[in-house]
Copies of this chain bind each other. A is one copy, B any other.
Amino acid sequence: MNFIQALNTIWEKNNSLVCVGLDPDLRKIPQHLQDAEYPLFEFNRAIIDKTADLVCAYKPQIAYYAGAGLERDLELTIEHIHTAHPGVPVILDAKRGDIGSTAEMYVMEAFERYKADAVTVNPYMGTDTLEPFLKRDDKGVVILCRTSNPGAIDFQDLDVGGQTLYQTVAHKAHTDWNRNGNVMLVVGATYPEELGQIRAMTGDMPFLVPGIGAQGGDVENAVRNGKDSRGTGMVINSSRGIIYASNGEDFADAARAATLSLRNEINTHR
């Protein structure tokens, strides 16, 4: 079963488009976990075990582990998802992008070392830098298209001859890069009109959708514009709104409540 098939299965099984972003900051996790041997892993594990029946994916952001020198916590987190909750895919958010020989090492990082099911990549350097990822037909390749941040307009919205740069990326993803049926696009919830445009260009290609919650994206508009022909096609990420729903010892229960609430809100609009 490849990554997109796994997504299709879990969308249905858990009736959920919610992805929990596992971006734990050592300075923000509850006090009682900060002295654990693997504090970020302990924090993640508690949240994972309370939410795994409500999500379609987990998305750890590698910067939070690498910045703190806690790679082992990331390894343990992904291993725990695979063993305790098989069938829930893991998207490693790393936004890698480099020349071929280096890209091969990033492929190793994402898929051999961390055993992620998919990884986010940056298209700026062009097709040859994506190839080492694209050829992995067992894995998902999640390509930045129209991101959720204010600066997305600086380059992604530039007109490159009748269409924007992000539309050109979407077009290439749909027509050139998806020969193995393993491509997704990052499209921010903060720009629902662009979500609709990209949906119209890409059939049922799945989108990873950041930007709801702390970043201000509206769930209803995002879902209405981003869903595919079957009412799925979206992996809607929430990080801070879920993992920091409480900063006390009840953080995992609060994360479950926040995940359930988001799942239900999304499902109202599918």
Which residues on B sit within 8 Å (CB–CB) of A202? Answer: none
Smallest CB gap from A65: residue in B: B105
Bound complex: CA of A165 vs CA of B149, how far in Å? 19
Q: Please tell me which one of the listed residues B67, B106, B126, B144 contacts residue A149 in the complex, with CB atoms under 8 A apart.
A: B126
Against B, the Cβ 8 Å flags (1 = close, 0 = not) of A156-179 are 101111000100110010000000
* A125-B144, A160-B165, A161-B158 given; A149·B109 CB < 8 A: no
Q: Please tell me which one of the listed residues B95, B152, B160 contacts residue A98 in the complex, with CB atoms under 8 A apart.
A: B95
Smallest CB gap from A25: residue in B: B105
Say whether B144 contacts A124, CB under 8 Å: yes
Which residues on B sit within 8 Å (CB–CB) of A154? Answer: 123, 126-127, 172
A140 within 8 A of B: no
Which residues on B sit within 8 Å (CB–CB) of A259? Answer: none
Q: Please tell me which one of the listed residues B67, B106, B160 contacts residue A109 in the complex, with CB atoms under 8 A apart.
A: B67
A8 within 8 A of B: no
Q: How large is the interface on A (under 10, 10 to 19, 20 to 34, 35 or more residues)?
A: 35 or more
Distance (whole angstroms) from the CB of A139 to the closest CB of chain B: 15
Bound complex: CA of A72 vs CA of B79, how far in Å? 22
* A105-B64, A149-B99, A158-B165 given; A124·B126 CB < 8 A: no
A76 within 8 A of B: no
Which residues on B sit within 8 Å (CB–CB) of A161? Answer: 158-159
Bound complex: CA of A153 vs CA of B129, how far in Å? 12
Say whether B95 contacts A97, CB under 8 Å: yes
* A149-B125, A151-B125 given; A63·B106 CB < 8 A: yes
Bound complex: CA of A105 vs CA of B93, how far in Å? 13
Which residues on B sit within 8 Å (CB–CB) of A147? Answer: 99, 124-126
Which residues on B sit within 8 Å (CB–CB) of A153? Answer: 126
A32 within 8 A of B: no
Known: A66-B71, A125-B152. 6 other contacts (CB 8 A): A66-B106, A67-B108, A69-B71, A122-B125, A128-B149, A128-B151
